[in-house]
Each structure stands twice: as C-alpha cells, then as structure tokens.
Structure 1
Amino acid sequence: MDFRTLMLYAHIAAGVVSLITMVIAYTTKKGPKAHAKVGRIYGYGMIGVGLTAVILFFMGASTFLLLIAFFSTYLVLVGWRFASNRKGAVTGIDTALMQFGFLGGIALLAFGAYIFTAGTPPFGMSKSFGIAPIVFGVISIALATQQYILNRDGISARGKKRISLHVTYMGAGTISTVTAFTITIFDHSVFTWLGATAIGTPLLIWNQMGVSKGKIASSVTSDEQD
C-alpha cells in the first residue's frame, strides 16, 4: 500500500468516525457526560479529516475538496471552543480560528470566481457550479465576522448565548461534513453540494429555537446565565 492510498483510507476512516459520532452527539442529552465525550471524538475525527485533506491535496487531490474539508473542520473547532469556553475568555485560540475562517472564506470565494471565469472549469465542473464555493465562502466570512464582533471587547459569549453559538457552529459543521460525504459517494452537482445546506439549515434553526426556549436540555449552569 502506497502512502497516498494510506492517507486516503485514513481520510475516509476519520470521516466515518465523524459521521457516526455526529449522529450520536445529536441524539444524546446535551451535557458534560455522553454528549460531551462523543462530541470530543467528533472533534478529533474532524481534525483528522482536515489534516489528511491537506496531505492529499499536496498529492494531487481536488483543491475544492481541500477547501470543504477546511471549512468543516473550522466550523467544528469553533463550535467545540464555544462548548468548552464557559468563562468567555478570549485568547489566541479564538483569534487564530477567526483568521482561519476569514482566509478560508476568501479562498472559497476566489475558487468560485475562478470556476465562473475560467474558459474550461476544473474537474469537469460546469460554470454554474461556481455558486457552491461562493455560498460556503460567504458563510465562512459571515461566521468569522460574528466571531470578531463577539470577541472585540475581550470577552466571548456565555450562558445560553454560548450554547446557542455552539449549536450554530456544530450544526453548520455537520452540514458541511454531510456535504463532503455526499459528493464523495455521488456525482459533482449543485444539489450534492448544496442539498445538505438546504435540508440542514431549517433543522438547525429549529434546534436553535429549542435552545432559546429551554426545550433542549443543556449543561448551562445558573452562574453562567446572561
């Protein structure tokens, strides 16, 4: 087995672990026990997805797949940060993640523009496919901007707002992870790239409403409430 094949298997394995733990995390009671433990495995799995995607990129894999792997990993890491940052401290970790989001969003926008303007779009894509990376790029920049606004006063979100943001970023990371899975199994089309977004976004909004109304159990403590 050559190194590229080994990395491909590792990438797939990390993705499968992430998908399984993602489902378990979403179906267990939110709190410091099972949900948090499974969520950490999900986070480590997504780090594995991101790292192996970088290696595969340098070995000839698609630029767009690298960007989507980055996007998914970025979202999950920020969601993980909100889950663990109960005190709302702003550190270099938050700054690095914010910069990560801005740079990745710009790269996705640039790739979308390239698809629209190239004489022959890459990877057999049609020009209309350029809308997909642009959508993800806009989302990445919007979320990084939200991070900047939250952190500019030196303290991040706490209480229910922190949990709500955790749900937002983890939910968006889940949508992106499912997207990466579907394009690996099915063909490259606008539907396979944006289908999970179209289906997952209403579910994410519903989940957010449940958090804000207290219908979804979480580990927010009384001394952390806003």
Structure 2
Amino acid sequence: MLFNTLLILHITAGFTALVTAFVAIFSKLINVAHQWHLYSGRIYFWAMFVIFVTSIPMSILHPNLFLFLISIFSFYYALTGWRLAKNRRGTPQLIDWTTASIMSFTSIVMILYGSYMLISHTNGIILLVFGVLGSSSGYRDFKRLRAGGVRGQARIAEHLSGMMGATIATITAFLNNNVTFHPEVVVWLGPTLVISPLIVWWNRQLRQGRRVKGAETPVLQS
C-alpha cells in the first residue's frame, strides 16, 4: 500500500516536472514574459524534490541501489541549479558545500558499483558514465565554492547547466519508462549525448556576454 502511494506521487511529480521543464526552457528561448520562466522553474524544482523524496523509500522498500544512486544524481542537478538562481550574491553556504560533498561521494559509489555491475549487466555503463559526470560536476562545485562562488553571467550559466542537467534526467526517466529499446543503455544515455552539446553552447554564449533570449534569472522564491 505504501509503495503504491509513493509510486502514484512519484509518477505525478515526474509528469509535472517534464511539462514544466519544457515550459521553463521554451519560455526563455522565445523570450515571453519572464514570469512564465520563473513560475514554471519553481514548480519544476519542487516536482523534482517530490520525485527525490519518494524514490528514496521506494528504492528501500523494493531494494534497488541502481535507482537509489540515480535519484541522488538527478536531484543534485536540480538543487544546484535552484541554489544558483536563489543565491544571487553567489556567496557559498553550508547547503552548497553539503550538496557538493554528497554528489562527490555518490559519484564514487556509482563508479565502483557500475564497475561491479559490468560483470553481469550492461547497465554498469550507465552508472560509470553518470558517475564520471557527477564527479566532474562535484569537482567544479568545490572549485567554485573555494573561489567564493560565482556572480553575474557566470552564475546564470551555472544555473543553466544545473537545471538543464536535471532536465536531461527528467527526459531520461520518461523515456526509460515509456520506450522499449535494446540495448537499454541507448535510452539511458541518449538524452545526455543529444542535449549536452546544447548546454555547452548555451553556457558559452552566456559566459561571453551574449544573451540568449532573456538575460537575467531572477531570484526563485521558495
């Protein structure tokens, strides 16, 4: 009964996150009233939060370390992107150090468990790839925090990277649950391979001061 209730909440939050992610992205790209981006981004974050808090007990009730690690990995990007939107001054706070620490530790577990999984299942490749991405992001976070945080266009670019990283996770989850394709690794890693170059390009545009349809990212009130 508990698992089914959590599953319903999880699926509802997943659908909400998928819809609001696209609203947030396209409202920014077509430069409509910025409130659309603000409100949809806020709903998206809290939907990702619900996904995270439901997936943890679900992965314990039906033991699944793979999904447990993926849940932490996915929410990390949403939380990082949200924090960069809220913290306009860029001053590092305890939650930022904690988030970077948890992701760094989780990425190590992902790499180790992914290597073990390769003995019997190709899904180990998924954890290895995500583990490497997570460790790289964690390292970049620590580097940014030790430097005193980021501001201006760099903050907006980092916000974009975090939220788009979370969006990739949202799209991946949707495809994994609704598309049957073998090998499974294609569905798991496809969105990352397709969308990551866009994130890199958009990030560079922002860092170089080239505003991409909507310059500022206002503070996201909780």
Give the TM-score, by structure 2 length: 0.88
**Structure 1 position 5 matched with structure 2 position 4:** yes
What is aligned with 1:181? Answer: 174
**Structure 1 position 146 matched with structure 2 position 146:** no
With 177-186 and 19-28 compared, the bigger mean Cα shift is at 177-186
**Do the aligned partners of 1:69 and 1:180 also contact (CA within 8 Å) in 2?**
no
What is aligned with 2:200? Answer: 205
With 59-68 and 81-90 compared, the bigger mean Cα shift is at 59-68
Over residues 145-192 of structure 1, what are the superposed CA-to-partner deviations in whole Å (9 max), with x where a residue is unaligned? Answer: 101011113x21000000000111111111122112211223461101
What is aligned with 2:214? Answer: 217
Q: Say if 1:24 and 1:101 are closer, same or farther in 2 by CA, change over 3 A.
A: same
**Do the aligned partners of 1:112 and 1:133 also contact (CA within 8 Å) in 2?**
yes
Over residues 175-219 of structure 1, what are the superposed CA-to-partner deviations in whole Å (9 max), with x where a residue is unaligned? Answer: 122112211223461101101111111221232244232233221
With 192-201 and 212-221 compared, the bigger mean Cα shift is at 212-221
**Structure 1 position 71 matched with structure 2 position 65:** no
SS at match of 2:106: helix
Q: State the distance in 2 between where 1:97 and 1:196 align.
A: 24
What is aligned with 1:130? Answer: 124
**Do the aligned partners of 2:108 and 2:135 also contact (CA within 8 Å) in 1?**
yes
**Structure 1 position 14 matched with structure 2 position 13:** yes
Q: State the distance in 2 between where 1:91 and 1:209 align.
A: 26
Can you give the 5+ residue segments of structure 2 that lack an aligned partner in the other structure?
Answer: none
Which of the numbers 168, 183, 191 marks the counterpart of 2:186? 191
**Do the aligned partners of 2:104 and 2:138 also contact (CA within 8 Å) in 1?**
yes
Number of paired residues? 211
What is aligned with 1:37? Answer: 39
**Do the aligned partners of 1:132 and 1:190 also contact (CA within 8 Å) in 2?**
yes
Give the TM-score, by structure 1 length: 0.87
**Do the aligned partners of 1:50 and 1:70 also contact (CA within 8 Å) in 2?**
yes
What is aligned with 1:171? Answer: 164
Q: Percent identity?
A: 30
Q: State the distance in 2 between where 1:32 and 1:89 align.
A: 25
> Displacement, 1:108?
1.2
Can you give the 5+ residue segments of structure 1 that lack an aligned partner in the other structure?
Answer: 222-226
The amino acid across from 1:49 in the alignment is I
Over residues 62-81 of structure 1, what are the superposed CA-to-partner deviations in whole Å (9 max), with x where a residue is unaligned? Answer: 32122212111110100111
What is aligned with 1:224? Answer: none
> Displacement, 1:220?
5.8
The amino acid across from 1:169 in the alignment is G
**Do the aligned partners of 2:153 and 2:206 also contact (CA within 8 Å) in 1?**
yes
